[in-house]
Amino acid sequence: MSKMIRQLVTCPKCGTKNNMDLYQSVNVSIDDNLRVDVLNGKIFEYKCDKCGLKATMYYPFLYHDMKKRFMIQFDPNNSYDELTFKSIEQSNPMQGYTYRIVNKPYMLIDKILILESDYDDRVIEVLKEFLKASNNSSEIRELSFALTKDNSYEFICINEKGEAIGIIPFNPDLYNMIYDRFYSKLKDYRHYHIDTDFAEAFLNEVEL
Ligand SMILES: [Zn+2]
């Protein structure tokens, strides 16, 4: 089940209060349209009935995919209590789930697409570090996993301002190399935040 609340949100332009549907949780196995709405950002759209302003308003919610067995807590305000997530994890009777917390909108999409694929997100984060290091552009801050039109994968390069500035193709051979080299260690890491900071810290640890 997905849970939604209707809330009055004040228009930042004209001050009118409009209803906005805010999801507290989204179950994409029951409603596949919600998956699309999350990926294209529609779930965060706010429209003012009076002045017509359209804005994107990010709010926290739980993304749940029962088929692919993962839950992602989107935490844009960086205020989510991990203990809540721990209790969700502990009370879930279904085994083999992956639990993650992400803070930024592009990280939410990145994480959904990785966990839907058959690739391990910890390996992907380490792969991203190697790709960033081997790429000459110092502008690249993050890489975001993405689907191409012909259903293969690529990475979108993101700069400091959060803008897309290029594409790096996803190379499965390189993924397999990283997997073979690091997975035996990576598999023991059960953090909720699997991101750039995680991969940097991991590489510092194993390379010492
Ligand atoms: Zn307005």
Q: Which of 80, 142, 79, 70 is nearest to 112 (CA)?
A: 70
Find the 21 Cα to ligand 1 centroid distance in Å: 17
Find the 105 Cα to ligand 1 centroid distance in Å: 24
DSSP the chain: --EEEEEEEE-TTT--EEEEEEEEEEETTT-HHHHHHHHTTGGGEEE-TTT--EEE----EEEEETTTTEEEEE-TTS---HHHHHHHHHH---SS-EEEEE-SHHHHHHHHHHHHSSS-HHHHHHHHHHHHHHS--TT--EEEEEE-TTS-EEEEEE-TTS-EEEEEE--HHHHHHHHHHHHHHHTT---S--SHHHHHHHHHHHH-
pLDDT at 138 (0 to 100): 79
Find the 46 Cα to ligand 1 centroid distance in Å: 10
Q: Is the pLDDT of residue 165 over 70?
A: yes
Give the model confidence (pLDDT) of 8-35 as tens digits: 999 999 999 999 999 999 999 999 999 9
As a whole number, the mean pLDDT across the chain is 93
Find the 4 Cα to ligand 1 centroid distance in Å: 23
The mean per-residue pLDDT over the stretch 84-102 comes to 91
Sort strands 98-102 and 142-147 into parallel, antiparallel or unpaired: unpaired
Find the 167 Cα to ligand 1 centroid distance in Å: 37
User: Measured between alpha carbons, how far is 198 from 200 in angstroms, rounded to an integer?
Assistant: 6
Find the 10 Cα to ligand 1 centroid distance in Å: 8
Percent above pLDDT 90 for the chain: 85
Q: Which of 17, 48, 54, 23 is nearest to 37 (CA)?
A: 23
User: Measured between alpha carbons, how far is 97 from 115 in angstroms, rounded to an integer?
Assistant: 10
From the number of C-beta atoms within 10 Å of its C-beta (0-12, 13-18, 19+), residue 174 rates as middle
Give the model confidence (pLDDT) of 132-152 as tens digits: 998 877 789 999 999 998 989
Find the 174 Cα to ligand 1 centroid distance in Å: 49
Find the 45 Cα to ligand 1 centroid distance in Å: 13
- CB atoms under 10 Å from CB of 38, counted, come to 22
Find the 48 Cα to ligand 1 centroid distance in Å: 5
Find the 47 Cα to ligand 1 centroid distance in Å: 8
Find the 55 Cα to ligand 1 centroid distance in Å: 10
Q: What letter represents residue 7's amino acid?
A: Q
Find the 43 Cα to ligand 1 centroid distance in Å: 19
Find the 23 Cα to ligand 1 centroid distance in Å: 22
Give the model confidence (pLDDT) of 191-208 as tens digits: 999 999 999 999 999 865
Find the 77 Cα to ligand 1 centroid distance in Å: 24
Find the 53 Cα to ligand 1 centroid distance in Å: 5
